[in-house]
Structure 1
Amino acid sequence: MRHLFLALLFCATLFGEKILKIATYNVENLFDLQKSGHEYSEYIPNGSSLWNQKNYKIKLKNIAQVIKEIDADIIALQEVESLQALLDLRFTLKQHGLYYQYYSIADKKDTTIKVALLSKIPFVYSKEVSVTQTLEYRNILENKFVVNGKELYVFVNHWKSKSGAESRRIISAKALKKRVSEIGFEKNIILLGDFNSDYEEYIKFKRKRKHNDTDGITGINHILGTINQRDRASKAEYAKDSFYNLWYDADKESRYTYIYRGKKEVLDNILISQPLLDQKGISYIHGTISNFDKEYLFKKKSINRWEVSRAKVPKHKGKGYSDHLSVTAKFRVN
């Protein structure tokens, strides 16, 4: 077995092939201990809710445990408060044996939580895509990479939650599609993150009147062109200016990243442009899309999220991870 592994490794190196693992993870409210004035009340540093050095270190350690096991080359993150929180997570990961030399965060706007990225691979640039000028909408993070001489664009998203209607998520979808059209749909592009949208949102949200304020139009399906996709990635065909949602390449029972009142849901997605399906240059490896569903990430038939008591004054209990599962996929770079 060892000789076979070495032979495969030699062949991959000889022909310049690289396997690239991409992931996205909503880490659920990773706040630092510096008071900015924009924190949620239970995350005011060293206050009555016990968001203190002890609980912060536990949160960092737990999230780092998950990220280390995933061991992605590039991981998109959501719900990171600040650059300091990102750097503290990066340092904790390094202490646990996983080093991400490169990092970026969408922090031009002083939103309460932000999107970020950790990478083992250098990026050519990192910039922010403005959704609106208000603090209500988080910016999208855009990173350009060159891997084995091939360009790759990665967009990290965190759209508005389902406490609001679909029209709010369409605003983010339109800003994202506008930027992608400027780059060109023929490029290698990955859109990932917490879209607060199911891969078939256009079907599921019709039953929810508070969401459907758009006459059935959705951001993830209609604006980004992922509607009526049924086939596995190996058979997928679609318009040039559309994206393919990798969840269609997974078994149905594993298509979830969130559990709400006992019901499994998809909020987090990885979408790819058409060139990433053509098996040339950079290409998605069929069958590799997966949620990261280790046993320790579940508790009482739900996700083992970071625990905060529901008392009049909420208090951090110092245990748990995130309310989301991570999503991973692999790509071949020739």
Structure 2
Amino acid sequence: MVRICTWNLENLFLPGDDAGPETGAAYQAKITSLADVVATMDPDVLAVQEVGDVAALTDLGERVGGTWHQATAAPDRRGIRVGFLSRLPLTAVRQWAAFPAGLRPVQVDDTPVSSSTMGRPALQVRVNVGGRRIDLIACHLKSKLLTFPGGRFSTDDEGERARFGAYALNRRSSESVTVRAAASRRLGALVGSAAVVVLGDLNDGPEAATTQILLGPTGSEIGTGGFARPDAGDRQRLWNLAARIPEEQRFTREYRGRKELIDHILVSHALVGLVADGAVTTDGAGPVPSITDDPNDRRGEPGSDHRPVLATISL
């Protein structure tokens, strides 16, 4: 059995950083609150998002206790990145950022500047569980919360709102294609037996087009008539474990009072049959606060504005 988790830690910075807690006491309260949840969930592998300072991630592992192996990707312009804390040794560490061949650069704002890379690189690692090799790819796709020129989080110009919404959607789509290309490479390397997990904050629900890009060939989703029927597409498919979460738990964030499931774990054919109904939970951290469009509203607050997703895979 292996327990795999993903959690957006919400601006895990050291005290004094622009997005971090203003005092040492507030920082310690955040580390303690996060560590209590991790200790309760007891994952073997934890993918994390919004890590500002790598030292803060180290502090989190030390506060939980025991031995943790750690890996992080390069940060984005805001200084946050994805990473892993793992009880299992991490090998074959690789970062993915550049769009795959054939995918053109995307417009990111009103300037002529375009981008051909992920805003936040994805991170691939490998663990070994009882002789079974599992490749994991952590990602944090472009947020649905928009940032306008000058660092504004709101606008009265509806044309500007529409344009920047399109820029964010196009970027999130291209990032999803990039992560899918990384997963396809691993799935193709070990045809029929590749144990691959893609997980993280996708910033969209299970039915969103950006999330669906990651699935690969259609027609065999959990809960459909094709799920139990093997076919040639299985070797390249990923299955979203959202359907294994108890219905009342199918949310990881509250935005203006609306529950959203935007954090996901997707697994390959070698693993999907090893995850039972109810073996995936988002209840590890309990309730979450309802957020607004301004991420600065919760600066220095303990805990996270996301619920973790934890999957138990019965190897």
The interval holding the TM-score normalised by the smaller chain is 0.7 to 0.9
Check whether the contact 1:231–1:249 (CA below 8 A) recurs between aligned residues: no
Check whether the contact 2:183–2:198 (CA below 8 A) recurs between aligned residues: no
Separation in structure 2 between the aligned mates of residue 158 and residue 222 of structure 1, nearest angstrom: 15
Task: Specify which of 219, 224, 242 is matched with residue 215 of structure 2.
Answer: 224
RMSD of aligned alpha carbons: 3.0
Shift of 1:88: 1.5
Check whether the contact 2:187–2:196 (CA below 8 A) recurs between aligned residues: no
Q: Pick closer, same or farther for the CA change 1:83–1:247 going to 2, 3 Å.
A: same
1:254 correspondence with 2:249: yes
Q: Name the residue aligned to 1:114.
A: 81
Give the structure-1-normalised TM-score: 0.72
**Corresponding letter in the other structure for 2:39:** K
Shift of 1:66: 1.0
1:244 correspondence with 2:239: yes
Separation in structure 2 between the aligned mates of residue 267 and residue 221 of structure 1, nearest angstrom: 12
Q: Name the residue aligned to 1:24.
A: 6
Check whether the contact 1:233–1:249 (CA below 8 A) recurs between aligned residues: no
Using the aligned pairs only, state the percent identity: 26
Q: Name the residue aligned to 2:268.
A: 273
Separation in structure 1 between the aligned mates of residue 92 and residue 76 of structure 2, nearest angstrom: 18
Q: Name the residue aligned to 1:196.
A: 203
Shift of 1:320: 3.6
Task: Specify which of 65, 68, 78 is matched with residue 101 of structure 1.
Answer: 68
How many residues align? The count is: 270
Check whether the contact 1:75–1:119 (CA below 8 A) recurs between aligned residues: yes
Separation in structure 2 between the aligned mates of residue 332 and residue 151 of structure 1, nearest angstrom: 14
1:176 correspondence with 2:179: yes
Q: Pick closer, same or farther for the CA change 1:34–1:65 going to 2, 3 Å.
A: same
Check whether the contact 1:100–1:118 (CA below 8 A) recurs between aligned residues: no
Shift of 1:236: 4.7
Task: Specify which of 122, 127, 131 is matched with residue 140 of structure 1.
Answer: 122
Check whether the contact 2:10–2:49 (CA below 8 A) recurs between aligned residues: yes
Shift of 1:226: 7.6
Q: Name the residue aligned to 1:159.
A: 141
Post-superposition Cα deviations, 1:220-275, rounded to whole Å, max 9, x if no partner, equal 10343386635179945572222111111233322111111221111100101111
1:68 correspondence with 2:39: yes
Separation in structure 2 between the aligned mates of residue 103 and residue 90 of structure 1, nearest angstrom: 9
Separation in structure 1 between the aligned mates of residue 139 and residue 122 of structure 2, nearest angstrom: 5
The unaligned stretches of length 5 or more in structure 2 are 100-114, 146-164
Separation in structure 2 between the aligned mates of residue 160 and residue 68 of structure 1, nearest angstrom: 29
Separation in structure 2 between the aligned mates of residue 26 and residue 325 of structure 1, nearest angstrom: 8
Give the structure-2-normalised TM-score: 0.76
Q: Pick closer, same or farther for the CA change 1:135–1:245 going to 2, 3 Å.
A: closer
Check whether the contact 1:103–1:118 (CA below 8 A) recurs between aligned residues: yes
SS at match of 1:107: coil
Shift of 1:33: 3.5
Check whether the contact 1:246–1:289 (CA below 8 A) recurs between aligned residues: yes
Q: Name the residue aligned to 1:3.
A: none
71-80 or 116-125: bigger deviation? 116-125
Check whether the contact 1:234–1:286 (CA below 8 A) recurs between aligned residues: no
Separation in structure 1 between the aligned mates of residue 140 and residue 298 of structure 2, nearest angstrom: 26
**Corresponding letter in the other structure for 1:154:** L
Separation in structure 2 between the aligned mates of residue 323 and residue 315 of structure 1, nearest angstrom: 9
Check whether the contact 1:131–1:171 (CA below 8 A) recurs between aligned residues: no
